[in-house]
Structure 1
Amino acid sequence: MADQQMPQGGAASLSEQRSGAGDFPPPGQLRFRSINRLGLWTLYMKEVRRFFKVQTQTIWAPAVTTLLYLMIFTLALGGGGRIVLGVPFATFVAPGLIAMGMINNSFANSSFGLLVGKIQGTIIDYLMPPISNAELILALVAAAVTRAILVGLAVAGAMLFWPGVDLTVHHPWAVIWFGLMGAILLALIGVLTSLWAEKFDHNAAITNFVITPMSMLSGTFYVISNLSPTFQTISRFNPIFYVISGFRFGFLGQSDIGTTNEAVLHGAIGLGVLNLVLWVAIYYIFQSGWKLKA
């Protein structure tokens, strides 16, 4: 009989456990009381190591491609000492090419992970770890921005030795802000694409028919004042136009959207608001489980 009696302390402990049962969420309902720093860092490093293992393809190859753009367009359009916005053509086009290389690779990185997970059946590796949807999005975007920065530094470093290119920075805030906002914008679009896409053809369609035209028609190789009024208006609805022009303003002190900080500030605020709206939209898509959960 003695071994069947429960000590008073044990009964109290059991009572406490039962009374504290209400602190736990119902089965299947996640509750996060704070940021999971370790989980966030782990997923971020996983994504970084994924593209860094093939850095020849993900960092150096895009840098070489961007330099080829510089060489071809400089020879084709920059002959005869052509001056654009008061600087040699090579100096004019260089910042735009750096920004274009950054945003294209940011999109390529963020649009790959979730899509491969869905195709290979490993999407559970993203959904099961104890991290919130906000942390998952943050890790994916941060890894894409990291790749964009590395590509930008590689391209800029090579351009420093290119004849006729001057990369003197006039407004550091614009270089940093528009570089980051452009990389974040394309990273968010990449995450949205990977959520929607069900096969690599879908991803390629967005790349070929949306991202590439928006990048090539963003004023990277020309000033939009050379266009007709109709196409100037269309260009101003292209968010990548503001990324390229704002980034160029940081180097040259002038651009298509203005020659003063006040004139460029509107584009800077607009990109920030657009990124915030995209972030919120993607967060709620993750919450709904659209094309992620059965």
Structure 2
Amino acid sequence: MKDMAVADEVVLPPQPRSYEGVNWVGLQTLYLREVRRFWKVGMQTLAAPVVTALLYMLVFVVAVGGGRAVNGVAYGSFVAPGLIMMQVLSNAFANSSSSLLQAKFNGLMGDFMTPPLTPLEHLIGFGLGAATRGVFVGGVAAVAVIPFARLPMAAPWAIAFFGLGAALIMGFVGIMAGLWAEKFDHMAAVTNFVIMPMTFLSGTFYLIERLPEPFRSFSKYNPVFYLIDGFRYGFIGRHEGSLTAGVAMTLGLIAFTGFVCFRMFQTGYKIKT
């Protein structure tokens, strides 16, 4: 009779795990995946940006800048923070955007959506993974350009705030681009027509007051200008724009881009078919 009772019991399939609060295991796994993903191709993600930064230093500082000064500091010291920030911006954007686009292209979005992760946990995992790459590559680029430019640390808080803020913003922008894009041509369009113009019209290699109109006015509304200007202030102690506006804009963009990404994950924008 006991055996018959056991046989009559209903066998239920395994139930989804119920998480209260944050799924720390899943969040850590997603973050480590994003970090290990760029770490496995170190020659592409680390060596290539360093070579690019050194080439810029060679062309703009040695060949063009010579011994002249900009804003009261040596041209090399003026340019170097901008070159470092360029690596932070481009690598943070590339990490999250390429991760999502490749997952779409290979039909692997289910690997992200199936685990019990909330939209906020997806946002944090992809965003912090992208920021880690941006900050790490920026640090490596800084070490590479130090022999060619004197980089004092006038305001370490500004270096940390604007560096991390820029990495998070571009990581979130990369998430938006990766979810929106349906092919690599779309991503190339975002990079060539949005990211690159904003970067090169941001005062990386010059004072924006020397630009002709309408580029001078455009640069004053360019958020990348305030990121680079604040980051440069952290090193040389001089800034061209308003630091208060730069801090407010950075915090505002982190909140805005983060919220947009959260809603895209929450609604399943171009994820659920």
TM-score by length of 1: 0.85
Residue 197 of structure 1 and its aligned partner are, at CA, apart by 0.3
Counterparts of 1:127 and 1:83, CA distance in 2: 52
Map of 1:118-129 to 2, 5 A cutoff? Answer: 118-129=104-115
Aligned-partner SS, 1:168: coil
Aligned residue number for residue 131 of structure 1: 117
Aligned residue number for residue 10 of structure 2: none
Aligned residue number for residue 83 of structure 2: 97
1:215 maps onto 2:215 in alignment: no
Aligned-partner SS, 2:204: coil
2:126 counterpart (140, 149, 159): 140
Q: What 5-or-longer segments of structure 1 have no aligned partner?
A: 6-26, 258-262
Aligned residue number for residue 246 of structure 2: 267
Counterparts of 2:4 and 2:181, CA distance in 1: 61
Counterparts of 2:245 and 2:221, CA distance in 1: 14
Counterparts of 2:83 and 2:191, CA distance in 1: 17
Native 8 Å contact 2:201 2:215 kept in 1: no
Question: Residues 32 and 237 (structure 1 numbering): CA distance in 2 closer, same or farther, change over 3 Å?
Answer: farther
Native 8 Å contact 1:182 1:243 kept in 2: yes
Counterpart amino acid of residue 133 in structure 1: P
Bigger-Rg structure (1/2): 1
Counterpart amino acid of residue 37 in structure 1: W
Counterpart amino acid of residue 191 in structure 1: I
Aligned residue number for residue 195 of structure 1: 179
1:284 counterpart (253, 263, 266): 263
Counterpart amino acid of residue 270 in structure 2: K
Question: Residues 86 and 288 (structure 1 numbering): CA distance in 2 closer, same or farther, change over 3 Å?
Answer: same
1:253 maps onto 2:237 in alignment: yes
Counterparts of 2:227 and 2:160, CA distance in 1: 11
Aligned residue number for residue 14 of structure 1: none
The superposition leaves residues 103-130 of structure 1 with CA deviations (integer Å, 9 ceiling, x where unpaired) of 1111011101111111111100010111
Residue 177 of structure 1 and its aligned partner are, at CA, apart by 0.5
Map of 1:1-294 to 2, 5 A cutoff? Answer: 33-79=20-66, 81-162=67-148, 165-228=149-212, 230-257=214-241, 263-294=242-273
Counterparts of 1:2 and 1:96, CA distance in 2: 77
Counterparts of 2:2 and 2:244, CA distance in 1: 80
Counterpart amino acid of residue 202 in structure 2: S
TM-score by length of 2: 0.92
Superposed structure 1 runs of 4+ greater than 3 Å apart: 1-5
Native 8 Å contact 1:115 1:197 kept in 2: yes
Residue 2 of structure 1 and its aligned partner are, at CA, apart by 9.7
How many residues of Structure 1 are paired with residues of Structure 2 in the alignment?
264
Percent of residue pairs identical: 44
Counterparts of 1:282 and 1:147, CA distance in 2: 19
Of residues 281-290 and 222-231 in structure 1, the stretch that sits farther from structure 2 once superposed is 222-231
Native 8 Å contact 2:53 2:145 kept in 1: no
Counterpart amino acid of residue 107 in structure 1: F
Aligned-partner SS, 1:161: helix
Residue 75 of structure 1 and its aligned partner are, at CA, apart by 2.6
Counterparts of 2:265 and 2:184, CA distance in 1: 20
RMSD of aligned residue pairs (Cα, Å):
2.0
Native 8 Å contact 1:32 1:132 kept in 2: no
Residue 149 of structure 1 and its aligned partner are, at CA, apart by 1.3
Native 8 Å contact 1:181 1:272 kept in 2: yes
Aligned residue number for residue 21 of structure 1: none
Native 8 Å contact 1:82 1:89 kept in 2: yes
Counterpart amino acid of residue 60 in structure 1: A
Q: What 5-or-longer segments of structure 2 have no aligned partner?
A: 6-14
Of residues 69-78 and 116-125 in structure 1, the stretch that sits farther from structure 2 once superposed is 69-78
